[in-house]
A and B are shown apart, each in its own frame.
Chain A
């Protein structure tokens, strides 16, 4: 598959996630591009290799198309009348930044479990006393994206 088609696949995956809240399955992508299962699988693997998305290990299910998550998480983002799931605290603000949409974010303090609610309006975030902690330094982020 040529490079252009690989990037078209990436664009489709992100458009699909923005519209539906979740990344497409391999079958949905194959069908959209009229590809065989094997051809679409190769494209997914190539996008994973390029860090354009992250596949669930041993599968062709998209676990992360950052900032969108392919699975439910404790980081909920309500925007455009839909509920998205973010991969982490950072990505919960990443979703309104990517969508250029107002959003309400529902998460919780990792220590106490108390709710942390944030609001983005007109591309500005409402003041909050909450903090975000990044555990791993940048040079280690791509060693193990699930733990990052």
Chain B
């Protein structure tokens, strides 16, 4: 489970150091909400049958997640 909450940048940096792990991508709570709305708003619809890689990339673009981290 590696999409985790942190209280602050300092807490995140301490965690990365303790795990000897490189920093991935960091989102603010409003950014995460924007992503969640786009990703999950139709998840309960019977019409939802998954999405293509192109649709996924479009969602990332809409919320300004454009670095190589978000590329398929």
Contact = CB atoms under 8 A, between A and B. Distances in A.
Contacts of B26: 131-134
A107 interface: yes
Contacts of A147: 1-2
Interface of B: 1-9, 11-12, 14-15, 18, 21, 23-30, 32-33, 35-37, 39-41, 43-46, 48-50, 56, 60, 68-72
Interface residues of A, number: 55
Interface in A108-148: 108-112, 114, 116, 118, 120, 123-125, 127-139, 146-148
A88 B27 contact: no
Contacts, number: 160
| Overall SS of chain A's interface | mixed
Given A111-B11, A148-B2, A138 B43 contact: no
B18 to A, nearest CB: 8
A139 B72 contact: yes
